[in-house]
Amino acid sequence: MVPPGGRAAVNGLPLSAGLHVLSHKDEIRLNDGSAIHFSVEVLPQPRPYLGPAAKCGRCHTALEPGCPVVHCSCGVAYHHGSPSCFEYGKQPLCVACRRPTRMDGSGLWRPEEEA
Ligand SMILES: [Zn+2]
Ligand SMILES: [Zn+2]
């Protein structure tokens, strides 16, 4: 939403109606030239594992139903706890997509990755 009289552009196109349904990775450029990015991704959150039967991406032992797990944004699940398979090691990376597996969200998509 852009306030009346405000100007903004999404993905380089000026907004006509002041309203645009954002989609993932849209770039929003504001009057002052600054840009913000919209992402549908959320910070990793531990949640009880609900199946289907699968193995942890880190330790390769079974993910028990109901045990706390964290999903990478690519979908691979890791045990969560102490120690956490998700945040295992100093610079944990997802075994599948090589994104940082950190609870602080550093594994989320960032615009500079595609710059
Ligand atoms: Zn594990
Ligand atoms: Zn991943």
8-43 pLDDT tens trace:
677 777 666 555 666 767 777 777 777 776 666 667
Q: What is the DSSP letter of 100?
A: B
Distance from residue 72's CA to the centre of ligand 1 (Å): 13
Strand order in the sheet with 77-79: 47-48, 68-71, 77-79
> By the 8 A CB rule, do 28 and 36 touch?
yes
Distance from residue 69's CA to the centre of ligand 1 (Å): 9
DSSP state letters, 60-108: --B--TTSEEEE-TTS-EEE-SSS-STT-SSS-B-TTT--B--TTSTTS
Whole-model pTM over 0.85: no
Distance from residue 107's CA to the centre of ligand 2 (Å): 8
Q: 19: closest CA among 37, 35, 3?
A: 3
Q: Which residue has the tokens 């109901």?
A: 66
Q: Which ligand is nearest to the CA of 64?
A: 1
Residue 22: both structure tokens together: 């954002």
64-107 pLDDT tens trace:
999 999 999 899 999 998 789 999 988 899 999 999 998 887 76
Distance from residue 63's CA to the centre of ligand 2 (Å): 16
Distance from residue 30's CA to the centre of ligand 2 (Å): 32
Q: What residues does the ion ligand 1 have nearby, CB within 5 Å?
A: 56, 58-59, 79, 85
